[in-house]
């Protein structure tokens, strides 16, 4: 068994960052003095390299092999640079962006110098910008790759490293999209072969400052989603959730002639500690409380909440009785999917969503004579759909303009929602009315998600193994007529760790481990018909509650 003290001491000798070097030094001294907590902490920081996968890197900021720090970023970038030199050549160009999280600016500088040190050209965006600006810049500049330093909506302690391929490094469908296998494994192997961090060459000679031009081009593109030359009557409340989306979103609305915007001031400026929310995720209970209070006070028409890197967007709207209602990711996906399907000016003939998203989108596509596709979770898969016009995943991610941004884009989705609310308002309707229209046409598709967090990640694999071995004859009083294991061939999707249960009542339950957090996630869908034009909201809610209770009991059973 590897001695964590010796491993940490060796890592420390090669750590170029004096802050993390000192952090490790203090832990090593305490562990050598017999402190069991320090020893356990070192062991947790040297369980192996922070895994590089299709989400790139993501983890807690701190010293050590299994944390996000400058040394890890240097070696990851050295591996990426080696991959690009092998695949494209020494003239490869890489777009680089970062958000405002702890460590982001420092990791940005390290990555830029490593890429430049290997002879590649770095197209450096201004710091503290949204992730979709980086994705846009990859396609707009014809770059061969893009790197975004962000942990998206993860807790404040985390940071990450996301990789896109473009230009000569991938095919047309993958241009500007996040990496998928086997690219991730190939880069990971090159990272493992990289020298220690202090031996990786670094230089600033190949860094080109992109300035504000790319941001301007992006803002003009998304502002152009609203075509009406006059001012919009929609009153918007906007919260940036302490992230980097606030100022760009406000400017996009201004350019789109949406003048009546009220911001949640205490959540507007970037703050890596996210002081007003437990988790900086618009889906978390309570995250929109300040925005909803402001919306009720000013009589808003729409609440928009961006996550910290502004690639995801949540929304709330008033019901007919004036009560505010936060829309689910699937509801927003249905609204934006219907909008996209009905807009013949958009390119592409396919609507796509992840396997854990609602089955309603496929019915919307068919009603408009369009193709539909179901992919694995993650926009790295959704964005590769041939002929994509619109794609979404239930975790409030929406790609509404794949020609420009081949990824989820919260600011772009915001503009689409503003135009949707404006268009419906002109007909005397609300978004909830359109949802009811879709239910009458295709059945009410009610969805919910259940998450179980685990302290020991080994329990996640054990729970999935137990489910595979167990018979589940019924759920919520309905017979289970099909159980599909996505690790096995035949689903039409790449193998992934997930189980799908379908009942004779039209229910669907999907269970899978989270790709970014120590959670087991379950996705529930109930489909009910509408008799005499009445949408059965109460019946669907009751059945979802019953299904959720049984699924929780199933997962917690030992």
Catalytic residue numbers, as ranges: 152
User: Within 13 Å of residue 190, how many CA atoms lie on the same side as its CB?
Assistant: 20
Task: Check if the beta carbon of residue 258 is closer than 8 Å to that of residue 446.
Answer: no
Q: For 256-322, where are the alpha helices, taking DSSP H only?
A: 289-298
Task: Check if the beta carbon of residue 312 is closer than 8 Å to that of residue 244.
Answer: no
Place of tokens 């807009």: 343
Cis, peptide link before residue 182, omega less than 30° from 0: yes
Rounded to the nearest 5 degrees, what angle is found at the Cα of 185, between the Cα atoms of 181 and 190? Answer: 140
Place of tokens 């017999």: 34
Task: Check if the beta carbon of residue 179 is closer than 8 Å to that of residue 165.
Answer: yes
Beta-carbon neighbour count of residue 303 at 10 Å? 28
Partners of residue 400 on adjacent β-strands: none
SS3 state of residue 236? strand
Strand 57-60 versus strand 158-165 pairing type: antiparallel
C-alpha pair distances (Å), 201 with each of 18, 63, 78, 249, 540: 18, 21, 9, 38, 60
Task: Output the six-digit token pair for 317.
Answer: 């709207």
Place of tokens 């854990």: 356
What is the number of residues in the chain?
558
Cα–Cα distance between 394 and 428 in angstroms, integer?
28
Place of tokens 């503003």: 418
Task: Output the six-digit token pair for 187.
Answer: 């880069």
Task: Output the six-digit token pair for 67.
Answer: 């944390």
Cα–Cα distance between 46 and 116 in angstroms, integer?
29
Strand 499-503 versus strand 478-485 pairing type: antiparallel
Cα–Cα distance between 178 and 385 in angstroms, integer?
13
């Amino acid at each position: 068994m590897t001695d964590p003290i010796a491993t940490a001491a060796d890592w420390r000798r090669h750590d170029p960052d004096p802050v993390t070097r000192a952090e490790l030094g203090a832990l090593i001294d305490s562990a050598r003095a017999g402190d069991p907590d320090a020893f356990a902490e070192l062991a947790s920081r040297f369980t192996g390299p922070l895994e590089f996968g299709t989400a790139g890197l993501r983890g807690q900021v701190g010293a050590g092999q299994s944390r996000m720090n400058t040394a890890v970023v240097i070696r990851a970038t050295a591996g990426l640079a080696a991959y690009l030199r092998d695949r494209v050549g020494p003239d490869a160009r890489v777009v680089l962006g970062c958000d405002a999280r702890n460590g982001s600016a420092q990791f940005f500088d390290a990555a830029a110098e490593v890429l430049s040190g290997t002879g590649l050209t770095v197209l450096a965006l201004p710091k503290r910008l949204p992730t979709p600006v980086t994705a846009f810049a990859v396609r707009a500049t014809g770059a061969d790759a893009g790197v975004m330093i962000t942990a998206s909506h993860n807790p404040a302690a985390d940071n990450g490293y996301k990789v896109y391929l473009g230009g000569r490094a991938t095919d047309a469908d993958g241009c500007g999209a996040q990496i998928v296998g086997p690219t991730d494994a190939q880069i990971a192997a090159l990272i493992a072969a990289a020298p220690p961090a202090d031996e990786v060459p670094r230089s600033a000679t190949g860094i080109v400052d992109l300035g504000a031009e790319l941001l301007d081009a992006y803002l003009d593109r998304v502002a152009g989603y609203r075509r009406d030359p006059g001012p919009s009557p929609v009153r918007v409340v906007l919260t940036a959730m302490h992230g980097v989306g606030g100022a760009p979103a406000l400017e996009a609305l201004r350019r789109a002639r949406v003048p009546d915007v009220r911001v949640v001031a205490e959540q507007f400026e970037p703050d890596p500690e996210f002081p007003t929310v437990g988790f900086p995720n618009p889906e978390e209970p309570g995250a929109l409380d300040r925005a909803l209070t402001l919306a009720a006070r000013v009589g808003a028409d729409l609440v928009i909440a961006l996550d910290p890197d502004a690639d995801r967007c949540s929304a709330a709207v008033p019901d007919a009785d004036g009560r505010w209602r936060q829309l689910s990711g699937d509801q927003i996906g249905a609204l934006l999917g219907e909008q996209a399907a009905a807009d013949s000016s958009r390119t592409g003939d396919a609507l796509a969503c992840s396997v854990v998203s609602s089955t309603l989108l496929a019915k919307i596509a068919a009603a408009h004579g369009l193709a539909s596709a179901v992919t694995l979770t993650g926009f790295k898969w959704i964005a590769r759909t041939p002929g994509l016009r619109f794609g979404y995943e239930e975790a409030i991610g929406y790609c509404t303009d794949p020609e420009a941004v081949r990824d989820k884009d919260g600011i772009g989705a915001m503009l689409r929602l503003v135009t949707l609310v404006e268009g419906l308002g002109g007909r005397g309707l609300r978004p909830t009315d359109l949802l009811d229209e879709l239910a009458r046409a295709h059945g009410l598709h009610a969805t919910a998600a259940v998450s179980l967090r685990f302290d020991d990640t080994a329990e996640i694999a054990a729970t999935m193994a137990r489910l595979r071995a167990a018979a589940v004859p019924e759920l919520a009083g309905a017979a289970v007529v099909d159980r599909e294991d996505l690790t096995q061939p035949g689903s039409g999707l790449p193998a992934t760790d997930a189980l799908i249960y379908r009942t004779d009542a039209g229910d669907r339950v999907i269970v899978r481990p989270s790709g970014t957090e120590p959670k087991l996630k379950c996705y529930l869908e109930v489909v009910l018909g509408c008799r005499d034009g009445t949408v059965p909201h109460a019946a669907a809610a009751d059945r979802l509650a019953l299904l959720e209770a049984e699924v929780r009991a199933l997962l917690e059973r030992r």
